[in-house]
């Protein structure tokens, strides 16, 4: 038996359809039609479910402190509550021992429950200490090829993205990582404009959290920010909570980068042990009085883009669904609502508030 879900306005990821119905059977979208529309049951909006490529924990369990399947399940539940169907659990710079445990956690989750988890995002420890941000300097280092190959072999099929500072890595290391089909994101980097541009010209297609923990834009040295602005293909994530990046800076970046800019939450959770301690202060997290993480959901990112950055609703949705899907290049995750694809959509009211999520 199939399920019908109607919308006054349906956004497929490429177009809006008014008075439309999505028919779902066995977790797949089998039709999108106007003929079966029932106004009495219709949601105001149906849009593609969101995708979050960087999130560290939820419900007082940070993955680096609780590297187990239960932690990833809690992250998934947090994601669902914020309209996100697909996510990358993320570990900030850690020891090899913790990285191995995080790989084990992703493997355990994906081979049991498995829902929503794209793979593990390793953010460090192969980053530039000058741009370490809140990362623990004791574990930050330039990797050896042997170290990288060992971790990649152990995490085969379970590591999906690695954030590193390309300027501290032997070029052969970058080639090895990419040969495993893993997305490299340039981040926590102090590369100058020319160096960053060279990396973006030669296969690194993504950067981690624009403006944060990267060489900034100066009039005599445009840095990595300037390289991203001027590059025709390089993409970047950005954190739209109003704390990590001023909303006016988001607006400027969006005007320059267009569809090359996408949202992540970079969300953490309350923790009191380990390297990374976070305390919720208002609607952000701090560590020792310093900004240490967001309390975002992707739905909140959409709302902030519309209400504070001034984007239209369509483009805000794309920044949290279509564009991150494009970065990952996985055929089973398009960020769209399409015939034959797995059903992943959110139902919203006229205030852009979540009413229902469908995530097969």
Cα 134 to Cα 114: distance, rounded to the nearest angstrom: 30
Name the active-site residue from 104, 266, 283, 312: 266
Active site residue 266: yes
Tokens encoding 46: 């149906």
Tokens encoding 342: 């797995």
For residue 25, the tally of other CB atoms under 10 A from its CB is: 12
- H or E element in which residue 292 lies: strand 290-294
Cα 116 to Cα 60: distance, rounded to the nearest angstrom: 20
For residue 59, the tally of other CB atoms under 10 A from its CB is: 14
- H or E element in which residue 24 lies: strand 16-25
238 CA to centre of own chain: 9
Q: Rounded to whole angstroms, what are the CA distances from 88 to 37, 95, 270, 283, 330? A: 35, 19, 19, 22, 13
Picking from 148, 178, 145, the residue whose alpha carbon sits closest to that of residue 161 is: 178
Active centre residues (catalytic): 266
């Amino acid at each position: 038996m199939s399920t019908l879900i109607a919308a006054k306005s349906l956004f497929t990821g490429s177009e809006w359809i008014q008075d439309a119905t999505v028919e779902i059977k066995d977790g797949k979208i089998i039709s999108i039609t106007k003929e079966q529309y029932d106004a009495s049951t219709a949601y105001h909006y149906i849009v593609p479910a969101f995708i979050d490529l960087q999130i560290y924990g939820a419900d007082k369990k940070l993955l680096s402190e609780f590297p187990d399947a239960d932690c990833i399940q809690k992250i998934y539940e947090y994601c669902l509550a914020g309209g996100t169907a697909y996510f990358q659990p993320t570990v900030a710079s850690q020891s090899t021992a913790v990285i191995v445990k995080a790989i084990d956690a992703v493997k355990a989750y994906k081979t049991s429950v498995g829902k929503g988890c794209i793979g593990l995002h390793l953010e460090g420890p192969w980053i530039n200490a000058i741009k370490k941000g809140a990362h623990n300097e004791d574990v930050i280092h330039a990797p050896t090829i042997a170290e990288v190959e060992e971790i990649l072999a152990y995490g085969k099929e379970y590591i999906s993205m690695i954030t590193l500072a390309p300027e501290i890595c032997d070029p052969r290391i970058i080639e090895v990582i990419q040969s495993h089909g893993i997305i490299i994101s340039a981040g926590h980097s102090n590369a100058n404009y020319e160096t960053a541009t060279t990396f973006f010209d030669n296969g690194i297609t993504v950067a981690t959290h624009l403006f944060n923990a990267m060489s900034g834009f100066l009039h005599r040295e445009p840095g990595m920010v300037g390289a991203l602005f001027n590059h025709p293909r390089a993409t970047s994530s950005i954190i739209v909570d109003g704390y990590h990046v001023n909303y006016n800076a988001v607006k400027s970046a969006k005007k320059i980068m267009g569809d090359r800019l996408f949202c992540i939450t970079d969300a953490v959770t309350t923790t009191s042990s380990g390297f990374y301690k976070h305390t919720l202060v208002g609607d952000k997290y701090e560590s020792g009085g310093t900004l240490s993480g967001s309390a975002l959901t992707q739905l909140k990112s959409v709302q902030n883009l519309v209400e504070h950055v001034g984007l239209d609703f369509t483009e805000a949705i794309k920044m949290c669904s279509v564009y991150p899907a494009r970065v990952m290049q996985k055929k089973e995750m398009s960020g769209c609502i399409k015939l034959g694809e797995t059903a992943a959509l959110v139902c919203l009211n006229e205030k852009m508030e979540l009413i229902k999520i469908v995530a097969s």
